[in-house]
Structure 1
């Protein structure tokens, strides 16, 4: 036998081989443990008609949203997330499919998606996930496109007079087995009719109103009801996050909070101003997302499903409009997309009034495709009678004798063909720069890019804002 001699003793080669094998065995075991780490679970909590500017983590002053703020403190806050169409069904269809509205088919509110599509249920299901949904279920049909497991617990009807919920079924779902899951918790708060929550928490006289509103007693009266539902939403977020902690699910669960589009007040929902299109997103991912961070990366709802696929270990899906922003979450990039796009088709919520938009993180171009028409929305503007509880009626009444109120109401009804805003200097989009010579070159560039996007999408513009026959 051959020996190796050192200063103090002799060791056989077989001894060293044994040591090497032991080290290799240890490394192999460590690698196996790391490679067998469970894929992260995902809980996505989505609001309904939330004015995200009211969240205290987004500088809101009217209430403290404690539980939502906790997600921001322990995760990443997105300051530049936008819905492509500021209404419920198109936004949710875009979230689930990764496609813009014209391509998924739900480019009008309550218009169904095309029945030959796939969605997040398929993509994550193929990666070994259970995909469930509890709560508002507007965009879950047909089942062939949205193969969610529907979980009891949260109210599915967004106009229900109550928002009662229980977590027993949610708890069963998230603790059922070791298979990773993605659960969408779709709240109906703070969607109208604003009948839940304790509005006595708020003093109407002390509320800080959005700068593009007409200040009337009716507006303040309705606003406290709306804020009370944001309080209910915040409590729901708290209940879900506590459930994750109590069941030990918080250690390997990504929690995402989404604000959807703006509120059902004039100038917000059903429009392409930021009051309707701008949203909120908070992502808490223990060990992967640095707590207390925020980003100016530009993202849209179409980007969320591609990101879920990416973080679940899947390959990029050809043909989707959205792109993964996983590198932003992990701190490897500060950018996601260059432009965000917007589309609005007013039927069936009012008269034909098609709008398109394009923006980066600062500048925004809006094209009103039928500027000679007046904008009308049946939920907020009853032209046949004056409703004493209607915010809009109180605005138009005040406009008869108040020049500022007149300007704000006319801005809403009569719009120019082109609007262009510096959203950093003018976040409420009150100063239209469309005729300013300084911006003409940029406006022309944005027009070209917007028109190219419409062509790529198969968007015929004003022609698609029409009445469609309902499917049987």
Structure 2
């Protein structure tokens, strides 16, 4: 066992947080001392990549330890099929109470449950609907409305505090405050500089922090893994006072883009440039209005993490709690003439990842930075090993980070992989692509990043010579050898076992000769051949 039976994990995930918008990752103006303190006491990973640049598939990969092509959830609101094991399904057998506080973007496979006769209200059905997590408090924000449903805990608390609405998330926590106290639209970016109508203590970041502390108070001596999943700094870009005005246009770091990205761009890039969100974030006044609020939301998260760390210290749990901090993807914010997170530039798929392992074995790496290629599917096997379990490698495709944290291993992989299904985006219509072919895959070897676009030439970036990823070399004949090599690496990955999950490699070690042991003798001419098989113990088949 890596750590004691009373060990805990606080697994914190932000939504749409870029890797370069933290103090410890080099942001010149945004101060995040509490998150930075985790990096000082743990290991900061500098090259961590999500397995998809959008919420749903990225999160399902993190929760299952599997790539989107394996678990099948390739876009938001695509159900995670019945049978896919989530984080709680792997940790519960180890005696770990595994709970959710916040967002998952999980959609249950209700058709699959109905087919198998599993009632959604049953204990098994509830776990399947929450990716194996015990539901402590789910708060998905905009996607969680009260119409015709029992009020959520957040709604009930807000109503008890005097917010008279069935949807406090939209009417208060994410509604800019008008001049006369009225709710303005959160979708008007021109209003982003205004404070939210809700007080800071009643917004989702503070609320989820409160609920996380309540869980830790409730957990007792049993080992626990709490997934605290903040909705922010994901849009709507609305921050409560005083965070709405902590930063200004002077604090906005320069945009990363070049005019040459607009000259004869790759067809898929051209289509995403045409999106409304990309065009609006290409305007300087929009960036100057929105990004300071994005920064304020991050500052609010950091302050609330300070509350969590203070609670862990005062409750005596700090020395036995692993803390993991990451994000499900980034945000273009106008970089590369794009908004949202639909492509594979680092600002979208490279995420912050900090792991603070309290065990003495990790003392040698405290405060260090790892440049190993890491994928977010590596977190689940890390948790399993931390609790002393055996990682089922036929199911989980990630690799435990414990070896890196304890300096017993230098690297995990040669390439990092990410995937994207754009079939529900307007780009499909503009490119006249069949739904089944709207697929892209990224393969990155630490220097070269290849983006395979089904039906089109690849995109290629050399991050050693072009760290901002401004020059697409995918059509350059001089780069053919690199393209062939990375395409082969992608093919090798695609041809791996992704679906043989019910039988492990260990189960197959002694499979040869099984026919003979069962009295089945194939290819024998006479009894002499059978006697030979019996003597040798090998059926020869």
Taking structure 1 as the reference length, the TM-score comes to: 0.75
Partner in structure 1 of residue 451 of structure 2: 366
Distance 1:340 1:191 in 2: 25
- Please state how far the C-alpha of 1:169 moved relative to its aligned partner: 4.1
- CA gap of 1:174–1:441, structure 2 versus 1, over 3 A, is same
Give the stretch that moved more between structures: 450-459 or 121-130: 450-459
1:173 maps to what in 2?
215
Aligned position for 1:383: none
CA contact (8 A) 1:267 1:276 kept: no
Measure, in 2, the Cα distance between the counterparts of 1:47 and 1:338.
27
- Counterpart position of 2:348: 276
| C-alpha spacing 1:236/1:457, structure 2 compared with 1 (3 Å) | farther
- The superposition leaves residues 89-118 of structure 1 with CA deviations (integer Å, 9 ceiling, x where unpaired) of 111101110110121111122211111111
User: CA offset at residue 189 of structure 1?
Assistant: 1.0
Q: Please list, as runs of the form range in 1=range in 2, the aligned pairs for 1:132-171 lying within 5 A after superposition.
A: 132-139=99-106, 141=108, 143-145=126-128, 146-152=131-137, 155-157=139-141, 160-161=169-170, 162=173, 163-164=203-204, 165-166=206-207, 167=209, 169-171=211-213
Q: Secondary structure at the match of 1:238?
A: helix
2:369 corresponds in structure 1 to: 294
Partner of 1:332: 408
CA distance in 2 between partners of 1:48 and 1:203 (Å)? 22
- Separation (CA, whole Å) in 1 of partners of 2:487 and 2:104: 36
1-side partners of 2:292 and 2:65: how far apart?
A: 35
- What SS does structure 2 have at the residue aligned with 1:428? coil
Partner of 1:188: helix, strand, or coil? strand
| Paired position in structure 2 for 1:345 | 421
- The correspondence for 1:72, drawn from 39, 44, 48, is 39
What are the Cα deviations for residues 185-225 of structure 1, in whole angstroms up to 9, with x where unaligned? 00011010011142322221442133128461122111122
Give the 3 Å change call, closer, same or farther, for CA 158–331 of structure 1 in structure 2: farther
Q: CA deviation at 1:65?
A: 1.2
Gaps of 5+ in 2: 110-125, 144-168, 174-202, 258-280, 429-437, 500-541
**CA displacement at 1:457 relative to structure 2:** 6.9
Contact 1:140–1:148 (Cα < 8 Å) also in 2: no
CA offset at residue 229 of structure 1? 1.1
Farther-moved stretch of structure 1 (201-210 vs 296-305): 201-210
Q: What's the counterpart of residue 201 of structure 1?
A: 246
Looking at secondary structure, tell me which structure has more helix per residue.
2
Any idea what SS the aligned residue of 2:15 has?
coil
Q: Cα RMSD between the aligned structures?
A: 2.4
Pair 232,216 (structure 1): closer, same or farther in 2 beyond 3 Å? same
Q: TM-score, normalised by structure 2?
A: 0.66
What's 1:248 paired with? 316
User: Structure 1: which 5+ runs fail to align?
Assistant: 1-33, 372-416, 460-472
Q: 1:365 to 1:95 in 2, by over 3 A?
A: same
Aligned residues: 380
* Corresponding residue for residue 451 of structure 1: 491
Which of the numbers 470, 476, 480 marks the counterpart of 1:430? Answer: 470
Structure 1's consecutive aligned runs of 4 or more residues displaced over 6 angstroms after TM superposition are none
Classify the secondary structure of the residue corresponding to 2:98.
strand
